[in-house]
């Protein structure tokens, strides 16, 4: 199985960004965790990060044909990007949305979740393990149930 992993704005700052919320795992640690888990699971991953909405859309549009599923942490775009929502709706592979923090127990604007409605499932509040869980869900086909 081939999985495209996309991280949105500010996730490149993991490790120094609001560590009380996001933890001390750096972005490079996250990449290594995802790649290591994929290798153990006999799965190929390609991991991207972008701070730009249009670039995230370009990554999805230009690559989705080569993948069986998407794991996406849209960062703050999760709360208001109808453009990423439309893009995820426009493609024919499943996406799972991940948030490191528990978005429902933070500021009220984070409870507004736009892109998740274009995804098969959302995982929030499991820290970086949310990404490995999302990969497992795609591998096991759990997003279908
Ligand atoms: C986040 C949650 C978002 O609300 C926030 O804007 C982020 C990170 C998370 O992974 O918990 O940038 O997506």
Query: Is the distance from the beta carbon of residue 135 to the nearest atom of ligand 1 less than 6 Å?
Result: no
What pLDDT, in 10s, does the model give residues 44-98? 999 999 999 999 999 999 999 999 999 999 999 999 999 999 999 999 999 999 9
Q: DSSP 3-state assignment of 71?
A: strand
Question: What's the CA gap between 59 and 38, in Å, rounded?
Answer: 20
Give backbone dihedrals phi and psi of 2, rounded to 5 degrees, phi first: -110, 125
pLDDT score recorded for residue 20: 97
pLDDT score recorded for residue 144: 79
Query: Is the distance from the beta carbon of residue 123 to the nearest atom of ligand 1 less than 6 Å?
Result: no
Residue nearest to atom 4 of ligand 1 (CA): 76
User: For the residues of 31-55, what is the DSSP string, one character each?
Assistant: HHHHHHHHHHTT-EEEEEE-S-HHH
pLDDT score recorded for residue 96: 98
The reply to whether 27 belongs to the active site is: no
What pLDDT, in 10s, does the model give residues 103-117? 999 999 999 999 999
Task: Quickly name the fold that domain 2-140 has.
Answer: Rossmann fold (3.40.50)
The reply to whether 24 belongs to the active site is: no
Domain assignments of the chain as residue spans, ordered by start: 2-140
Residue 145: which pLDDT band, with cuts at 50, 70 and 90?
Answer: low
**Closest ligand 1 atom, residue 21 Cα:** 11
Residue 101: which pLDDT band, with cuts at 50, 70 and 90?
Answer: very high
Quote the pTM value: 0.97
Cβ pair 99, 130 in contact under 8 A:
yes
Query: Is the distance from the beta carbon of residue 101 to the nearest atom of ligand 1 less than 6 Å?
Result: yes
pLDDT score recorded for residue 120: 98
Active-site residue, from 79, 99, 131, 143? 99
Mean pLDDT (whole number) for 17-25: 97
């Amino acid at each position: 199985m081939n999985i495209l992993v996309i991280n949105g704005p500010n996730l490149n700052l993991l490790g120094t960004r609001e560590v009380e919320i996001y933890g001390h795992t750096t972005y490079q640690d996250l990449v290594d965790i995802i790649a290591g888990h994929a290798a153990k699971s006999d799965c190929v991953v390609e991991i991207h990060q972008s701070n730009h909405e249009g670039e995230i859309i370009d990554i999805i549009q230009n690559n989705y044909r080569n993948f069986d599923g998407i794991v996406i942490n849209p960062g703050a775009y999760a709360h208001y990007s109808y453009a990423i929502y439309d893009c995820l709706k426009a493609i024919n592979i499943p996406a799972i949305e991940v948030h490191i923090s528990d978005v429902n127990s933070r500021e009220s604007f984070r409870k507004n979740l736009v892109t998740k409605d274009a995804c098969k499932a959302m995982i929030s509040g499991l820290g970086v393990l949310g990404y490995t869980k999302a990969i497992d869900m795609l591998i096991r086909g759990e997003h279908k149930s």
